[in-house]
Structure 1
Amino acid sequence: MSSPTLAVTDSDPVGLVADVLIIGTVQGTDGVLPAPGAPTVDAAFPGGLAALLTVVGATGRADEVVKIPTQGRTTAPLLIAVGLGKTDASGNVTAEQVRRASGAATRALGDDVAQVVSTLSTLDLGAAAQGTGLGAYRFDQYKSSEEGRALDSVTFVKAADLEGDGSASLTAATAIAKAVNSARDLVNTPPNDLFPESFAQRTADLIRGTDVELEVLDEKELAKEGYGGILGVGAGSSRPPRLLRLRYKGAKAAKKVALVGKGVTFDSGGISLKPAADMHHMTSDMAGAAAVVATVVLAAELGYPLEITATVPLVENLPSGTAYRPGDVLTMFGGKTVEILNTDAEGRLILADAITRAAEDEPDYLIETSTLTGAQVVALGKRTAGVMGSEEFRDRVAELARATGEGGWAMPLPEELRGDLDSKLADLANVTGHRWGGMLAAGIFLREFVADDLPWVHIDIAGPSYNDKGAWGYTPKGGTGVPVRTIAAVLADIAEQG
């Protein structure tokens, strides 16, 4: 899909040529109110917009979209009033409220809309632009007919007190939205077209023209180097596994960061077969890999002063005569052995190989993300990722995840659960054998493969990476692109703070 062209203006929005003019609304104590920042639009309507919005039933609640013909009061023939929700005690709204409203308004545009003017940018230019880029996302390459005209351009009205011309904010917002949408595209691509080898090719296409280097290990190289987890999980498929190694080194790089993302391009559960209901959602079991690849490309495009290496294992987990079995013992990269009690706990096996390899580069930080456990959804729901790992770094990542609007919650790794992973045959088992604390036990399993004293974090995105319900805010149905924005924010924070 093509993205709309974004621009900033300090002109009066009332007189700007467009198909649609977007304003924000808030939930006031006495009813709906136009959001601050667009007084000329309010003044263009007799009696002000509040009275008109009240008549048509607007409330200002988050994601609410109300369309009003302007009848010549503005150059744009249609006004869209989008709800921001409630303000804080000082009358302000958050960046996430602006981002979400901008996405909701963009999703509500008709197919005949080509040019838009938005005043949400007077509240937060970067958030408004990012919300537009995310809300404009469409994945329609498998449709036999076009679904309508795509949005061509959005002009954002500049706040009076904004320093500079706003171009830096637009550049960053556009790049971030592009990265998120790249991850969404990968997640939404069906597994007959996205498998380990084709994922590697798609990655090569994404990094073209950037300073990112790519190494691809095939099944022969994986066997030679002893990647037992990746080979074991991928043994049941006719399409063999791959391991991607992406490298980017920015100018004046002071810190080394390792990224790891789970890439199960389809997960049937293997011999421990999943139920048929909703198995088609397992096309999203490579969302961690998609996010990591997209974030490395983003870091290169924005020129982060970091040295970043991503290790991305790619497999299909299918049942067949060659598939690995419950009862098998796999020797992982680095020599540790794992008894397989459930072949549907496959993600941790390929991640164990990848984490061990990533740690050999002696990074200052390690960030891993994966659609690892259904227990994450049970514990935290569909929109909040579980964040585990080194306590100080874990808390830092969780806070940044919430600041981006993606959401994340710090979770413990209780020592008493480690004993439940003991095996009579091997160094450890891949599951505990009971249902309690499954998300935490998976994090404890991964911890066994993290080098001592390495600050690390595991982000379980089993729920947040894929939206199987209706669209909301800037989030479409299907792949969400979580946690690209979180990882990008962490990288930017490391670049600034160390």
Structure 2
Amino acid sequence: MSANHPISFSVISANLKKTTADALVIGVGKGADGPVLLDSPLSASAVNSLKASLEALGVSGAADQLVRLPGLPDSDTKVLVLAGVGKLSGSEITQEALRRAAGSAIRQLAGLKHVILALPTTAVAQVSAIAEGAALGAYQYASLHSDTAGKKAPVAKVTIFTSLAKDPVLAGVLERAAVLAQAVNATRTLVNEPPSRLFPATFADAAKDLAKGLPVKVTVMDEKRLAKDGYGGIVGVGQGSSRPPRLVKLEYKSEKAVADLALVGKGITFDSGGISIKPGAGMITMKCDMAGAAAVLNTVLAVAKLGLAVNVTGWLCIAENMPSGTAIRPSDVLTMFGGKTVEVLNTDAEGRLVMADGLVAASQEFPDVIIDVATLTGAQVVALGHRTAGVMGDEGVTAALKAAADRAGELIWPMPLPEELRPSLDSPVADMANIGERMGGMMVAAVFLQEFIGKDKSGQTIPWAHLDIAGPAFNESAPYGYTPKQGTGMAVRTLVTYIEDVVARSL
């Protein structure tokens, strides 16, 4: 797997002329009465001159707008850049607005080597958001184009101008931002890899490679062990492909662990639909059907790099769903790991089959919480669109994930699990069927997964939440903010923030 080169950070608090860079970025907001120049280190005369020229320059302050001007005597930069932060509401600019503005600027300034970001900051968390956005915006996939002569290299160095430059906690904050962005970007790269390069065996190899040097134990179960141990869902989905399935287990343990958490990710490296084959247009983006497993993998690695006081186990349920003479058929019955039987009515509802095995395996280790992440249903996109994920499960876990996502800058929305949906999964020949009621399909899929959540040592059902990221895991439209086209790295930031919150609540 090709690696994305990390961006380097530095901070300054005074005298812009002492820092030589290619561009200086300042912020412009979209106010009720027109563009508003945000606080910056520019001189009063420069600020007044710019304010008088904003509308004539066509500057609106809209998110993603970037206007380049000649550099000013205030700094030793060739270019002054006005970056839009979007609509202003109140005096405080949100962390997400800063994160997106920084990411948008760095993304659009590809080709420059060193950029100074002088967006307004009054708190360390805002500096962190700017650094995170910049690192996410610098992402580029090492594409397979034969001619790369015209490709602009990403910005390699960012200097953040802030009055908080000497705050002693800033170094740790910037390190966290770099680790988090690296995890998101590694997830993006896995998603972007063609299925001819990323299939179950190479995905497992990538997990081992990415974990090298970290206190993470990686166990890879091949098709022979999966069949021997009874992982009927993963084996069944993978049996139609010439590339056999894998189950990858990642274990990070802390001597100071305050909780044991399990993460389960869907890793369908390509989803043709199997015998219930998708239309051609529906297959084009199906290399992204392993985004949940990629997010789980890189979340565990980020937690290890940050040294968080938790035990986290990741389960990557990896298979390729292909039609062939050996593929499962509609009406086949699979015996899942743990013994439950499932009648397969639609082979394109395969994600829940591999996830069921992973959820049972995770349950058997009695974690305090199980969270699964999957590009599970097209119904998620119908219900919530392309940028908002759905979260379902136990209210305590879903509420905590929603709060974490809000701070991390990711969009998720809680959805119910109505009891009346469960009977639609009944089967006359097995414990349950893999599809049920068509309406509310996102919730029906979650109700199916819920059946495979086990009990804890006291006999109570383990707290669980399911994240359906089918829409926001892959961006088919133009880049925006810090989000590139194709793989987005959705869920990594939410999961890491959630785990940090678990640690913080124990203190």
Sort the Cα spacing of 1:443 and 1:333 in 2 relative to 1 into closer, same or farther, 3 A.
Answer: same
Shift of 1:9: 1.4
Match of 2:93 in 1: 93
2:300 is aligned with 1:301: no
The answer to whether the 8 Å contact 2:13/2:165 transfers is no
2: distance between equivalents of 1:110 and 1:42? Answer: 27
More deviation in 41-50 or 51-60?
Answer: 41-50
Task: State which of 447, 453, 464 in structure 1 corresponds to 2:472.
Answer: 464
Deviates more, 1:336-345 or 1:18-27: 18-27
- Cα pair 1:42 1:48 within 8 Å, conserved: no
State the partner residue of 1:450. Answer: 453
Provide closer, same or farther for how the CA distance between residues 278 and 43 of structure 1 changes in structure 2, counting only shifts above 3 A. farther
User: What is the rounded CA distance, in whole Å, between the counterparts of 1:144 and 1:53 in structure 2?
Assistant: 42
Displacement, 1:166? 1.8
Specify the SS of the correspondent of 1:45: helix
Three-state SS of the structure 2 residue aligned to 1:48 is: helix
1:481 to 2:489 alignment: yes
Which position in structure 2 is the counterpart of 1:60? 61
Residue type matched to 2:203 in 1?
A: F
Larger mean CA deviation between 302-311 and 50-59 belongs to: 50-59
Q: Which secondary structure does the structure 1 equivalent of 2:281 belong to?
A: coil
Which residue pairs with 2:366 in the alignment?
362
8 A contact 1:14–1:41 mirrored in 2: no
Contact residue 8 and residue 165 of structure 1 kept, 8 A: no
1:121–1:128 contact (8 Å) kept in structure 2: no
Residue of structure 2 in register with 1:215 after alignment: 219
2:423 pairs with 1:415: no
Q: 1:7 Cα shift?
A: 0.9
| CA RMSD of superposed structures (Å) | 1.5
Q: Distance in 1 between matches of 2:233 and 2:418?
A: 25
Equivalent residue, structure 2, for 1:288: 292
SS of 1:458 mapped into structure 2: strand
- Check conservation: 2:13, 2:161, Cα contact below 8 A: yes
Could you say if the C-alpha distance between residues 446 and 42 of structure 1 is closer, same or farther in structure 2, counting changes exceeding 3 Å?
A: farther
1:366-389 CA-partner distances (Å, limit 9, x unpaired): 110000000000000001000001
Alignment of 1:192-207 (within 5 A): 192-207=196-211
Query: Given the superposition, is the C-alpha separation of residues 73 and 436 from structure 1 closer, same or farther in structure 2, using an over 3 Å criterion?
Result: same
Structure 1 residue 46: deviation in Å?
6.7
Please identify, of 415-424 and 5-14, the stretch whose mean Cα deviation from structure 2 is larger.
5-14
Equivalent residues of 1:121, 1:156 under 8 A apart: no
The CA deviation string for residues 99-157 of structure 1, in whole angstroms up to 9 with x for no partner, is 0000110111142x111111126351100000000000000241223313332211111
Equivalent of 1:241, from 232, 236, 245? Answer: 245
1:438 aligned residue: 441
- Equivalent residue for 1:169? 173
Shift of 1:448: 0.2
- Residue of 157, 170, 177 corresponding to 1:153: 157
Name the SS for the 2:284 alignment partner.
Answer: helix
Q: CA deviation at 1:73?
A: 4.5
Identity %: 47
Structure 1 CA distance, aligned partners of 2:147 and 2:11?
Answer: 34
Name the SS for the 1:41 alignment partner.
coil
- Aligned-partner Cα distance in 2 for 1:411–1:14: 52
Q: 1:150 to 1:215 in 2, by over 3 A?
A: same
Deviations 1:215-263 (A, max 9, x none): 0001110011100000000010011000000000123012000000000
The answer to whether the 8 A contact 1:399-1:408 is kept is no
Whether the aligned pair in 2 keeps the contact of 1:21 and 1:118 (CA below 8 Å) is yes
The residue aligned with 1:392 is 396
Tell me whether 1:118 sits opposite 2:126 in the alignment: no
For residue 393 of structure 1, give the secondary structure of its aligned residue in structure 2.
helix
Q: Deviations over 1:283-327 (max 9, x none)?
A: 000000000000110000000100011111100000000000000
| Residue identity in the other structure for 2:118 | T
Q: Which piece of structure 1 moves more, 328-337 or 148-157?
A: 148-157
Number of the residue aligned with 1:20: 23
Q: Which residue is 1:2 aligned to?
A: 5
Q: 1:48 deviation in Å?
A: 3.5
Deviation above 6 Å: which 4+ runs of structure 1?
none
Equivalent residue for 2:377, pick from 373, 382, 385: 373
State how many pairs are aligned: 493
Could you report, residue by residue, the CA deviation over 1:25-82 in whole angstroms, capped at 9, with x for unpaired residues? 112233212212x1x3152527332122222011112221111112544321211111
Cα distance in structure 1, aligned partners of 2:329 and 2:358: 21
Residue 220 and residue 284 in structure 1: after superposition, are their counterparts in 2 closer, same or farther (change >3 A)? Answer: same
Contact in 1 for aligned 2:232/2:335 (Cα 8 Å) = yes
Deviation at 1:278, TM superposition (A): 4.0
Other-structure match for 1:80: 81
Task: Structure 2: state its 5+ residue gaps.
Answer: 456-460
Residues 377 and 442 of structure 2 are in contact (CA less than 8 Å); yes or no, is this contact kept in structure 1?
yes
CA–CA distance in 2 between the matches of 1:278 and 1:114?
39
Shift of 1:165: 6.1
Structure 1 distance, partners of 2:196, 2:182, is 24
Give the match's secondary structure for 2:55: helix
1:345 aligns with 2:349: yes
Q: TM-score, normalised by structure 1?
A: 0.96
The one-letter code matched in structure 1 to 2:137 is G
Q: Does 1:492 align with 2:491?
A: no
Distance 1:325 1:299 in 2: 40
Q: 2:43·2:74 contact (CA, 8 Å) conserved in 1?
A: no
Q: Which moved more, 1:55-64 or 1:176-185?
A: 55-64
The gaps in structure 1 that reach 5 residues or longer are: none
